Chains A and B, each alone.
Chain A
Amino acid sequence: MKVKSKAAKFGDWVFVFICVIISLICVVPMINLAAKSLSSTEHLIRHEVFLLPRGLNFDAYTTVLADPKYQRAFLWTAFLTLVCTFLSLFMTALCAYPLIFPALKGRGAINIFITITMFFNAGMIPNYLLMNDLKLLENPLVLIIPSCMSVYNMIIMRSFFYGIPDSLRESAEIDGASFIQVLLKIYIPLSKPVFASLALFYAVGRWNGYGDALMYIKKNKQFFPLQLLLYNILNNINSVEVAAQEGFSMPGLGESLKSAIVMFSTVPILLVYPWLQRYFIAGVTMGAVKE
Chain B
Amino acid sequence: MAKDTKVKVKGPKQKFNATYLKRYWQLYFLLALPIIYLIIFKYIPMRYIVIAFKDYKLNMPLMKMPWAQVKKDGAMVTDALKYFKDAFSKPDFRRAIFNTLKLNMLDLICGFPAPIIFALILNELCFKRFKKVVQTIAYMPHFLSWVIIATLVIRVFGPTDGMINMVITKFGGETIPFIDDPSHWVGTYVTAGVWQSFGWGSIIYLASIAGINTELYEAASVDGAGRFRKMWHITLPGIRPTIVVLLIMNLGGIMGGGFERPFAMKNNLVMDVAEVISTFVYKVGIQQLKFSFTTAVGLFQSVVGLVFLLTANFISRRLGERGIW
- Listed in ascending order, the chain A residues whose CB lies under 8 Å from chain B are 2, 8, 11-12, 15-16, 18-19, 22-23, 25-30, 32-33, 36, 44, 47, 49-50, 91, 94-95, 97-99, 101-105, 110, 113-115, 117-130, 134, 145-146, 148-149, 151-152, 154-156, 158-159, 162, 178-180, 183, 204, 207-211, 214-215, 227, 230-231, 234, 255, 258, 262, 265-266, 269-270, 273-274, 277, 281, 284-291
- Interface of chain B: mostly helix, strand, loop or mixed: helix
Beyond A159-B5, A277-B139, list 18 extra A-B contacts (CB 8 Å). A11-B227, A19-B121, A28-B163, A101-B11, A105-B20, A105-B24, A114-B38, A119-B309, A123-B302, A125-B285, A156-B2, A211-B258, A211-B260, A234-B150, A234-B151, A281-B203, A288-B246, A289-B246
* Chain A residue nearest to B158 in the complex (CB): A47
CB distance from B135 to the nearest CB of A (A): 8
Given contacts A102-B8, A126-B295, A130-B48, contact A269 B27 (CB under 8 A): no
Report which of A94, A97, A103, A204 forms a contact with B24, defined as CB distance below 8 A. A103
> Is there contact, CB below 8 Å, between A98 and B30?
yes
CB distance from B150 to the nearest CB of A (A): 7
Given contacts A94-B34, A126-B48, A215-B286, contact A18 B121 (CB under 8 A): yes
Given contacts A32-B155, A98-B27, A162-B4, contact A8 B137 (CB under 8 A): no
5 residue pairs bridging A and B, Cβ less than 8 Å apart: A23-B137, A33-B155, A119-B310, A207-B145, A262-B148
Task: Decide yes or no whether B176 CB sits under 8 A from chain A.
Answer: no
> Is there contact, CB below 8 Å, between B281 and A287?
no
CB distance from B22 to the nearest CB of A (A): 12
Task: Decide yes or no whether B322 CB sits under 8 A from chain A.
Answer: yes
- Listed in ascending order, the chain B residues whose CB lies under 8 Å from chain A are 1-6, 8-12, 14, 16, 20, 24, 26-28, 30-31, 33-35, 37-38, 40-49, 51, 118, 121-122, 124-127, 130-131, 133-141, 143-148, 150-152, 155-156, 160-161, 163, 166, 195, 199-200, 203-204, 207-208, 211, 221, 226-227, 241-242, 245-246, 258-260, 263-264, 278, 281-282, 285-286, 291, 294-295, 298-299, 301-302, 306, 309-310, 322, 324-325
Report which of B1, B38, B121, B166 forms a contact with A47, defined as CB distance below 8 A. B166
CB neighbours of B14 from chain A (8 A): 103, 105
CB neighbours of A49 from chain B (8 A): 161
Given contacts A98-B31, A117-B42, contact A227 B122 (CB under 8 A): no
Report which of A2, A117, A149, A231 forms a contact with B264, defined as CB distance below 8 A. A231
CB neighbours of B47 from chain A (8 A): 126
Given contacts A22-B118, A23-B138, contact A123 B163 (CB under 8 A): no
CB neighbours of B8 from chain A (8 A): 102
Tell me the total A-B contact number using a CB cutoff of 8 A.
276
Give A31 to B75 CA distance when docked, in angstroms.
66
